Structures are given as C-alpha cells and as structure tokens.
A and B are shown apart, each in its own frame.
Chain A
Amino acid sequence: MTKAAFRDHLGRPIVAVTGMGVVTSLGQGLADNWAALTGGVSGIHAITRFPVDGLNTRISGMVDFVDVPVENPVERSYAYARETTDEALAQAGLSGDFGGPLFLAAPPIEPDWRDRFALADRAAPSQRPGDAYDRFLAVLRENPSPALHEAWAFGSISERLSDRYGTRGLPVTLSTACASGATAIQLGVEAIRQGRTDRALTVGTDGSVTAEALIRFALLSALSTQNDPPQKASKPFSKDRDGFVIAEGAATLVLESLESAVARGARVLGILKGCGEKADHFHRTRSSPDGGPAIATIRAALEDAGIDEVGYINAHGTSTPENDKMEYLSMSAVFGEKLPAIPVSSNKSMIGHTLTAAGAVEAVFSIQTMLTGTLPPTINYQNPDPAIVLDVVPNVKRDAAVTAVLSNSFGFGGQNASLVMTAEPA
C-alpha cells in the first residue's frame, strides 16, 4: 500500500480496529455474544443480586457470571473491562506493554451501601439525627482504609487497567452518560489522528447495577416495568415500549493507525471512519423536540467520515418512548426518503441498556455486522409504533453485505455521539 492509502479524505491517519472484546448478559466473549445476538436471544432476566421487594422494576441485563473478589460496582466494572481487554489484545495479537493511551468510559460510582453500613457498625452511636458522616469520619480517623479510598476514587479502575496493560501516560476516565462508550472511542481516534500515538486502548465498562442505581433511574420513570416475562420487556420502536432495561457489560476496542496495523501484519477488523458529537441545551433528561442536536451529531459523524450513506444503522434504540421517537426523527431528517431502505436495529432489545458501556459494546457489534455479513435483529417487535416507519430487522437476523455502519449514542445531560465505521479497505 502507498502512503496515501493510510490517510483519509482529510489527510489524517486512518484508524483501524484490530482487536475487540465484549461481555454482556448474553455471555463472555465475542463468539458467544454474536451467536446469541444473531440468534435473537435475550439476556434480560430477573434480578437476583439484591432483593427487589417493593420495586416496580425487577429485571435487568446484569452480568452474573464474572467472578469478583468483593461484591461492588468498582470491582465489577474493573473485572468486565479486564476480561474484554484481555480478549481484545489477544485478538489484536498484542502482548507486553501496550504503549499507547487508555480511554476508559466508566460509571460514576457512588460509595457502596455495604461500606456505609460497615462503617456505621464500627461507629459510635448516633448523637443527633443526620450525623452518620461525622461518625464515619471518626471511624476513618482512627482506622484509615486504603481499600475504601480505592473504592471511592473515580480514578481507581483506570489505574488498575493502566498497570495491567502498560498503557502510556495519564489514562482518561470519562463519562458522557449513555454516550460514554462512543466518547472513549472518539478520544482514541482523535489521539491517533493527532499523531501522538499509533495505538489507543478504548474501553467502556459498566457494572454499576445496584438497588440505588435502579431506584434512581426508576424515579426518573426511565425504566421498563414490564417485568414478566423479562425477555419481552425491551422492545425498541414498538408501540407499547415503556422504558429501557438497565444492564451491565463492557467492550474493548484496540485502535491503531492503519499504517501501523498493516506494518505489523495485524488483521484489520474495520475502520473507525468518523465521529460526531453535539451537546443539547434543552433539558437535563429530555432532548430538543426538534431533534436538532441529534441530527447535528449524525451529520457531523458522516461528514467526519467523508461519506453520506450507510448500509446499516446500529441504533441507540433504548426502548424509552422518547428516545426512539427522537432517534427516528433525527435519522429521518438526515437520511430522508432513503431511510426506509436502511436496516436499523437495536441490540438493546436483547442486551438491555449497558449505560456507560453501550457505545463501545454496540461499536463492537457494528464491526462484527460488517465482518460477518449478518444484521442482528430487533427482537420483541410484535406491535410496531405506527409513527416510526423503519426496517428494524424485525425479530430475525438477516444476511446482508454492509460496508458502512452508523452507531448512535445519546445520554442524559444533553450528550450525543455517533460513530461511523466502515469495512476494511480491500
């Protein structure tokens, strides 16, 4: 290949994906996940990790099969990220120090209730209402706990990953809410395009489903309450959708400049062709009714990629009444009369909403869609929303050769990010 073949339409280094790893409620590893996802299998199940008495939502897409030394969201988020990164680096054929930066999308984890109860057990009795933190602090003054510091610090997961994989420099831990996974990838793409590195490790992980997390989202009326049967609750683009199903998971993508990937003989799985983002100032949890920021985000991603058509859209498709309507509106505005001919499916119909990890998980599945020529379906599509006219790849996978995919991620706080991925240039 000539040097020019390693540059994109704007003269920037082309960014290749050379390794992928994924964990969701469907299983561990890309092979198992892909078999289940294309088989139309749901990973949504009844919550068993904590009691659900009195809760309106009692189902989730938790990952219950990865061992953790201590039961808390930090350990879970770390463990999932470790598993997917091991898998991705193995696929990329990389061992030893990674030697590039780490961009980690991780949930903003509050201290765990077990820790608060344990501190209260060790503390002096209450002297007045509302003095628990005085007592916690008194306990810690006497007996500091580095383990608690690590559990409470937001930088601890990336610290452990940096040590384990020998990444370079200061790792970035980020949150753009439900767009975080896509933002981590975008940061990796930007770093390679800046010429500061030949490779970047991009990870999205979320093991933060606890009673408090569930209740907080429930109080915002964001979650499905269609508990029975669990597998039927997540029904993106359906008329009777009533909220997302909270879930866990992780994904890692090894990004490399195409030039460096080819030079070392790595297999190129796909190209991270374009990224777009645009923030929304309309409301803390709701999107602009005109879809303006989401439209701008998709357009920015396509423009960054230098293309105006895609063969498949991996939708954000959360199954909330609002998201699916807004996402449809924005896709319609961008693709116009071509939209009905573009298959659009939502992985969340099967894995639920993996929150911080979602953008990364769905990027992995987007690349895999191109590699295998199989479109994963949107399951539970029995009662289409008449206001959303889409080819959602209803209920059953479909064979289709696709060379360009758009993946959308939208989140609370006006967060919007879209990625465009293309097949490896033959």
Chain B
Amino acid sequence: MAKAKNDVVITGVGIVTCQGVGKEAHVALLGADGAPALRIDTERFAPYPVHPMPEIDWSQQIPKRGDQRQMENWQRLGVFTAGLALDDAGLKDDMEACGTMDMIVAAGGGERDIAVDSLIVDEGLKRNDRERLLNEKLTTELRPTLFLAQLSNLLAGNISIVHKVTGSSRTFMGEEAAGISAVETAFHRIRAGQSTHTLVGSALVAERQDVIMLYEAIGAHATGGWTPLWSRDDTAGGGIVTGTAAAFLVLESRQHAEARGAHVYATIDAIGGDRGARDDGKLEARLDRLAEGFAADPQKTVVLSGASGLHGLTAREKAWAENRFAGAALRGFSAVTGQALEAQFPLGLALAALALGDGLEVPAFDPAAEGAMSAPAETAVVTTVGHGRGEGLAILSAEK
C-alpha cells in the first residue's frame, strides 16, 4: 500500500500481561523459539483459573504516592500502562504533545469493596427492611474515594492527572466492543484529520470476583486447571480463562509521526466492528465483511486471534480464520495472556505492532493446533469476538 500523510501509524506501545511488564518482555515472547511459559493462578480464585498481574512497581509510572492511593488496581494498571505507551512513543515529558493529545479509553467499572458488599448482604439476610439497611450501611461504610476509583471515566481522568494527556478524554464502555470502538474511532478521526495523535487503550484486572461474576452469570468462565485455548476442556466450565492485562497505543497520522521523527511500528490499514445475531452463519458473514480488505501474502501474515476460549464460539472463530486466512499463522493470544474483556482488542493490536515492528516469526502458542511461521510477519490480522456480543477486526502492515 502506498504511504499517505493520513495513514494511521502506531508509534508507542504500552503493554502489561501476566507475561511481564512492557514491550521487551513481549517482544521476547513473540520472537521466541517456542510458546512462553504458562503463567496461571488456579488457587486464589478457585475454582476459576486466572492469568495474574505480574509484579509491578507502580512508582515507575505513577510517581506520586498520593495519586497511587486515589486509585485501586484497575485504574493503577491503566494509568501505568498508558505511561509505558507515552514513554515508548517518546512523548512522556512532552507537555505540548500530551496537552494536545486525544485520548479514548475503553473501560469497565472499578473494584467494588467486597467486604462492604458482603457485610451488607449478610446483615440483609437477618432483616426485612433492606432498603433502610442500605442507607445506613452505605452512608457509614462507603469510602468517598472508592466512588472515584469505581467510576469508569476516572481511568482516563487519572491518566490526565498523572500524565497530563489533556487534548480530549473520552471513555467507551461495553465489554469487548468498547475496546474495538475505541481504536476504530481513533483511527477514523486521524484518517479524517480530526486528530493528529491519540492515546487509546484499556486495562482489565481479572483478579476480581466482581469481574469473574459477569462471565459466570452465563457460565462462561473456565473452572479447574488451565487447558489449551483451542482444545479447552468442555466439562470444566464455560471455557474462558480471564487474564489481568492492559494495552495502550499511541496512534498518529503518518505526517505527525514523521514530522517528529517517531519510530513507526506498523500501519493500521483497516479496522471495523459490527454486531448482531450469530446464528446460521451470521457471525461468519460479518467477519467476512470485516476482513474484506485483506489481500496480503498469507505466508507472511500472522492472525492474532482474540478468541476467548468460550465453548462453541472459539471453535467457530478458528474454523472461520483458518478458512479465510488459509496459509497464515493463527495465534490465539488468550492462551498466553488470558481474555481481557475491554482490553482484548487493544491487547491484540499491541502484540501485532510489536511482532510487525521487529519482523518476528511468532511461535505457536499452542503447538498442537497452530503451525510454525516460515517468514517474518509483514501483515497482522487482529480479531476479537466478544464473549456476549460484538466483533472487531483490524489489518496492520509492517513499515517498509
């Protein structure tokens, strides 16, 4: 594809998963000879296995203790990872660039106070005036700061406070689809000249019972031990193994990036999202439409599938991808990172950017189901099929 001034290029990657903090750890795993070591915690949230947060020194990106205290881990993780992306783009202390930088964050809600919730429902079991009980307990037990730690748009708000990103601040909600729409919206704004540089991303702390509960409301979370993504044990829960993860990207117009001599990881050539009924091949038909722009050499293509592991849907996505991208290397990254809800799509793009940026031959994450790559990746396809609704797909190409 010919280069254009308004191409949307990735110039900064911030990434945290159970596999480590920052791009070096992830470039290493994407360029390794074999699948990375499994990092899973099957104890703390038993019977639910979750990919845990790696050890993080928050002060590396959130220097003020006061700022750290105003947040819980979900916001901390997002603010931290946004800082990594800004650092990586070389914009961290560029007040002018951050002051004009747009921001779109895909967010769920913050941590609830499990102890207070438990206290209230247990007291409620003994009383028949539960609404009055709520008033009593919430008035006395809720910490005012926790409200702000729970508010969806306060992840972005804290990024503004800590990193001074203030061109604009928008928060999208709605599970996986929020992450898709966030990148899609940033992409189209840059393409149209409505933005020159945008920070986009999301974070999920999976090590939260209030998060697991969303999945478990439809019996979607896996139970017991970890089993491979593409052959997950269908007798042990619903198949999804969640993972604490965050990914932020600095997107720029090519013109903006080149003017400041920024390193370009990759160009986003196409991106789209859709939704609707999934029966009777409707899901596959929508995915086909989203993938219409793909015309690359499959031998040099890595398909970074965000398949969640959910029984049924995961097999359908795999069958579709193997057909549509025949000859390309399919990589289900949830096998390595866990499924990260709102952060899933940005996480896929972050991995794609790193793989393309270094021209890596991405090893099979699940050697029993994924073939080896025979050439460095020049094109990446990123998919996310929401566990309940919504699908997104992006096509990225390496810089030549």
Among A169, A280, A284, max chain B CB count under 10 A is at A284
CA distance A292 to B237 in the complex (A): 52
Residue among B150, B156, B171, B191 facing the most chain A CB atoms (10 A cut-off): B171
Taking CB atoms and an 8 Å cut-off, the chain A residues in 293-335 that contact chain B are 293
Distance between Cα atoms of A220 and B125 in the complex (Å): 29
Please give the distance in Å from A280's CB to the nearest CB on chain B: 7
Binds A, one of B209-217, B255-263, B313-321: B209-217
Judge if B56 is at the interface, Cβ distance under 8 Å. Answer: no
- How many angstroms from the CA of A176 to the CA of B173 in the assembled complex? 10
* Contact assessment for A212 and B175 in the assembled complex, using a CB-CB cutoff below 8 Å: no
* B184 adjacent to A279 (CB under 8 Å): no
The answer to whether B214 and A149 have CB atoms under 8 Å apart is yes
Residues of A with C-beta under 8 A to B129: 51
What are the residues of chain A within 8 A of B151 when measuring CB–CB?
Answer: 108, 177, 412-413
> Given A211-B134, A219-B147, are A281 and B274 neighbors across the interface (CB < 8 Å)?
no
Would you call B97 an interface residue if the criterion is a C-beta within 8 Å of the partner chain's C-beta atoms? Answer: no
Task: State the CA gap A148–B124 with chains docked (Å).
Answer: 20
A219 to B180, CA, bound (A): 35
Chain B hits for A132, CB < 8 A: 114, 117-118, 121-122
- In whole Å, how far is A190's beta carbon from the nearest beta carbon of chain B? 6
Q: A108-B151, A116-B121, A146-B217 given as contacts; is B174 within 8 A of A155 (CB)?
A: yes
Q: Does A106 contact B (CB under 8 A)?
A: yes
Which A residues from 118 to 154 make CB contacts under 8 A with B? 119-121, 126, 129-134, 136-137, 140-141, 144-146, 148-149, 152-154
Residues of A near B192 (CB, < 8 A) are: 190, 193-195
CB pair B115–A170 under 8 Å, yes or no, is no
> Which residues of chain B (306-352) have a CB below 8 Å from chain A?
none
State whether A414 and B157 are in contact (beta carbons under 8 Å apart), knowing that A130-B114, A152-B214, A194-B194 are contacts in the complex. yes
Known: A155-B390, A190-B189, A413-B156. A141 touches B117 (CB 8 A): no
Whether, in the assembled complex, A248 has its beta carbon less than 8 Å from a beta carbon of chain B, the answer is: no
In B131-189, the 8 Å CB interface with A consists of 131-132, 134-136, 138-139, 142, 144, 147-148, 150-154, 156-158, 160-161, 164-175, 177-178, 180-181, 184-185, 188-189
A158 at the interface (CB under 8 A from B): yes
Selected from A117, A126, A173, A279, the residue in CB contact (under 8 A) with B174 is A173
| Least CB distance, A74 to chain B, in whole angstroms | 12
Output the least CB separation between B180 and chain A (Å). Answer: 6
- How far does the alpha carbon of A279 sit from the alpha carbon of B131 in the complex, in Å? 38
A172 (CB) vs chain B CBs: closest residue: B181
**What count of chain A residues pass the 8 Å CB interface test?**
79
The answer to whether B218 has its CB under 8 Å from any CB of chain A is yes
A160-203 with Cβ < 8 A to chain B:
162, 169-177, 183, 187, 190-191, 193-196
* Residues A215 and B139 in contact, CB atoms below 8 Å apart: yes
Q: Are B175 and A153 in contact (CB under 8 A)?
A: yes
Q: Chain B's nearest CB lies how many Å from the CB of A132?
A: 4
Q: Which of B122, B156, B174 contacts A153 (CB 8 A)?
A: B174
- How far in angstroms is the closest Cβ of chain A from B164? 5
Report chain B residues within 8 Å CB of A137: 48, 209, 212-213, 216
Q: How far is the CB of A375 from chain B (nearest CB, A)?
A: 30
Q: For A194, what are the chain B residues with a Cβ–Cβ distance below 8 Å?
A: 188-189, 191-192, 194
Known: A121-B125, A146-B218, A284-B70. A52 touches B177 (CB 8 A): no
The contact of A155 among B103, B134, B175, by CB within 8 Å, is: B175
Instruction: Please tell me if A55 contacts chain B, counting CB pairs below 8 Å.
Output: yes
Q: Is A279 in contact with B115, judged by CB distance below 8 angstroms?
A: no
- The reply to whether A159 and B275 form a contact with Cβ atoms under 8 Å apart is yes
A296: min CB distance to chain B, Å? 9
CB of B185 within 8 A of CB of A172, answer: yes
Q: A383 contacts which chain B residues (CB < 8 A)? A: none
B345 to chain A, nearest CB (A): 11
Q: How far, in Å, is B386 (CB) from chain A's closest CB?
A: 8
In the complex the two chains form, is A176's CB within 8 Å of B170's CB? Answer: yes
Check B92 for interface membership: any CB of A closer than 8 A: no
Give the contacting residue for B119; candidates A129, A191, A277, A281; CB below 8 A: A129
Flag if B273 contacts A170 (CB, 8 Å): yes
User: With A132-B117, A284-B157, A415-B157 known to touch, is A54 a contact of B135 (CB < 8 Å)?
Assistant: yes
Cβ B171 vs Cβ A176 within 8 A: yes
When the two chains form their complex, are residues B217 and A174 in contact, meaning their CB atoms are under 8 A apart? no
CB-based contact B219/A279 at 8 Å: no
Provide the bound-state CA to CA distance between A334 and B156, in Å.
27
Whether A55 contacts B168 by the Cβ 8 Å rule is no
Asked if A50 is at the interface of the complex by the 8 Å CB criterion, the answer is yes
Measured CA separation A148–B109 after assembly (Å): 16
Tell yes or no: B54 within 8 A of A by CB.
no
Complex Cα–Cα for A148 and B214 (A): 8
Contacts A51-B131, A191-B188, A280-B160 known; list 12 others, CB within 8 Å. A50-B131, A110-B109, A117-B130, A120-B125, A126-B118, A169-B273, A176-B169, A277-B169, A279-B168, A282-B161, A284-B161, A413-B156
Contact sample, A vs B, 12 pairs, CB 8 Å cutoff:
A51-B129, A110-B109, A154-B152, A170-B392, A219-B142, A279-B103, A412-B148, A413-B169, A414-B160, A414-B166, A414-B169, A415-B153
Spell out B's residues near A (CB within 8 Å): 47-48, 70, 103, 107-109, 112, 114-115, 117-122, 124-125, 129-132, 134-136, 138-139, 142, 144, 147-148, 150-154, 156-158, 160-161, 164-175, 177-178, 180-181, 184-185, 188-189, 191-192, 194, 209-210, 212-214, 216-219, 223, 237, 272-275, 386, 388-390, 392
Sorted nearest first, the 3 A-B pairs with minimum C-beta distance are A413-B157, A155-B174, A170-B273
